[in-house]
């Protein structure tokens, strides 16, 4: 894999304002998002009024610098903001998440002044929705083998190929697309990143897929058919696109880990509440020690994951490269929330399998975290590869 292409974020919100922001997010989650969850799951649609409120709260631009209309959180603050926001169903994070990470990271760090001025303010306000187009029908985990092409033609590039499972594609206005600019390569070298506007002739968005969970968040294929973009659409250096994608994913993985922790905490709270209410054998099931064991295991694992993601975030703010820590946190937290969701269903008994139980819904919602932005197996490969490299360096 290529070397890092840029340093971490330098900005941060002052502690008092950040505290107020967290309070505001928690209130919004409690009063507006949680009450809407069941309807969003049933209708596969987030009401426009809620999207407007999310825009007004600045949730689309949490990590985008203030100079471009964002809130300018540093990594630790963004993780804490997602720990608060993602106590609600993950669909809400999904619709703001790409603007805060995968679509904006490279723009903030590598965009030209013209690219930043054009895209970052509408991404920060939520007026523009971004999408991150890496995966293809024949290249998922092996992302470096992608075959979408971008052929230079005078002052333009001509894009061809298909991108698969692209989150927010049905709603997106700009697509960060990874395509091969050096046809002589077959691996991570020779890939470049492009910003492609939705209305560019030759760009087609497929119909939304039907998913297991996170109803209300949509994804689809994106096809490029002789799609001509100006040379100014190239983001970062030519042929360095794969390194850009990997660095964006480092940050994205921390946000996913934070989301897993928050959802685990929600599932635990739901489980404790039910365990205190439900009576079997003459006492609340929470007084049976085998039920207590499930609650305690979930609590300990969620706490471990919380510590991991915050530690990695603090290190990122100190300028450390945290690829391994981000992979460790994403792998542990996504596996952890799967176990916690499974125990939450168990604690609820038959009710845990029946809608509209929160455990039933979140059990479906959290399954994706072990798959996207690198499966658990890919995180294992990243972590082990770095361990072996470090051993080679230090003996």
Q: Is the C-alpha dihedral spanning 311, 381, 141, 231 positive or negative? A: positive
- Give whole-number Cα distances, 371 to 307, 330, 357, in Å: 22, 11, 24
Which residues sit opposite 224 in a β-bridge? 161, 203
Residue nearest to ligand FAD (CB): 140
- Provide, rounded to whole angstroms, the least separation between the CB of residue 46 and ligand FAD: 16
- Provide, rounded to whole angstroms, the least separation between the CB of residue 245 and ligand FAD: 8
Q: Which of residues 331-370 bind ligand FAD (CB under 6 A)?
A: 368
> 104 vs 167, which CB is nearer to ligand FAD?
167
- When binding is defined by CB under 6 A, the residue of 36, 62, 73, 133 that contacts ligand FAD is 133
Q: Is 388 in the site for ligand FAD (CB under 6 A)?
A: no
Q: Is 141 in the site for ligand FAD (CB under 6 A)?
A: yes
Per CB under 6 A, the segment of 164-172, 225-233, 248-256, 290-298 that binds ligand FAD is: 164-172
- When binding is defined by CB under 6 A, the residue of 375, 383, 385, 386 that contacts ligand FAD is 375
- Which strand (E) or helix (H) includes residue 224? strand 219-230
Tokens in use for 200? 């560019």
- CA end-to-end span of the chain: 21
Q: Is 372 in the site for ligand FAD (CB under 6 A)?
A: yes
Question: Is 147 in contact with 157 (CB distance < 8 Å)?
Answer: no
Q: Could you give the angle at the alpha carbon of 97 between the alpha carbons of 308 and 333, nearest 5°?
A: 25
- Provide, rounded to whole angstroms, the least separation between the CB of residue 98 and ligand FAD: 7
Write out the catalytic residue numbers. Answer: 373
Whole-angstrom distance, CA of residue 39 vs CA of residue 335: 27
Q: Is 175 in the site for ligand FAD (CB under 6 A)?
A: no
- Provide, rounded to whole angstroms, the least separation between the CB of residue 106 and ligand FAD: 13
- When binding is defined by CB under 6 A, the residue of 100, 167, 323, 327 that contacts ligand FAD is 167
- When binding is defined by CB under 6 A, the residue of 57, 79, 110, 134 that contacts ligand FAD is 134
Q: What is the CA radius of gyration of the chain?
A: 21
Q: Is 140 in the site for ligand FAD (CB under 6 A)?
A: yes
HSE (side-chain half, CA atoms, 13 Å) at 395: 0
Whole-angstrom distance, CA of residue 2 vs CA of residue 339: 34
Binding site for ligand FAD (CB under 6 A): 132-135, 140-141, 165-167, 211, 219, 368, 371-375, 377-378
């Amino acid at each position: 894999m290529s070397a890092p292409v840029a340093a971490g974020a330098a900005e941060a919100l002052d502690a008092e304002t950040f505290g107020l922001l967290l309070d505001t997010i928690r209130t919004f989650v409690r009063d507006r998002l949680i009450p809407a969850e069941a309807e969003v799951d049933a209708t596969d649609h987030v009401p426009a009024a809620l999207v407007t409120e999310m825009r007004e709260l600045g949730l689309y631009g949490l990590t985008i610098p203030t100079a471009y209309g964002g809130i300018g959180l540093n990594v630790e603050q963004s993780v804490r903001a997602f720990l608060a926001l993602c106590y609600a169903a993950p669909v809400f994070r999904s619709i703001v998440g790409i603007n805060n990470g995968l679509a904006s990271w490279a723009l903030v760090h590598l965009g030209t002044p013209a690219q930043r001025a054009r895209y970052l303010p509408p991404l920060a306000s939520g007026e523009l929705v971004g999408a991150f187009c890496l995966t293809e029908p024949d290249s998922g985990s092996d992302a470096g083998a992608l075959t979408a092409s971008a052929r230079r033609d005078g002052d333009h590039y001509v894009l061809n190929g298909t991108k698969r499972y692209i989150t927010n594609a049905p709603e997106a206005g700009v697509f960060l697309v990874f395509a091969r600019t050096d046809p002589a390569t077959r691996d991570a070298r020779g890939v470049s990143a492009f910003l492609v506007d939705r209305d560019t002739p030759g760009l087609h968005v497929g119909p939304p897929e039907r998913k297991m969970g996170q109803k209300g968040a949509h994804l689809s294929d994106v096809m490029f058919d002789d799609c001509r973009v100006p040379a100014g659409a190239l983001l970062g250096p030519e042929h360095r696109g794969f390194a850009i994608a990997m660095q964006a994913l480092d940050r994205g993985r921390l946000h996913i880990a934070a989301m897993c922790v928050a959802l685990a905490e929600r599932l635990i709270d739901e489980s404790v509440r039910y365990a205190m209410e439900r009576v079997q054998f003459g006492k609340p099931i929470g007084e049976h020690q085998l039920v207590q064991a499930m609650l305690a295991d979930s609590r300990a694992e969620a706490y471990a994951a919380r510590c991991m993601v915050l530690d990695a975030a603090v290190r990122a703010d100190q300028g450390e490269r945290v690829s391994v820590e981000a992979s460790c946190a994403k792998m542990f937290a996504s596996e952890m929330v799967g176990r916690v969701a499974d125990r939450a269903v168990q604690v609820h008994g038959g009710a845990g399998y029946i809608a509209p139980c929160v455990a039933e819904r979140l059990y479906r919602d959290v399954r994706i975290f072990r798959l996207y932005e690198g499966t658990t197996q890919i995180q294992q490969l990243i972590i082990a590869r770095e361990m072996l490299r470090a051993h080679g360096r230090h003996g």
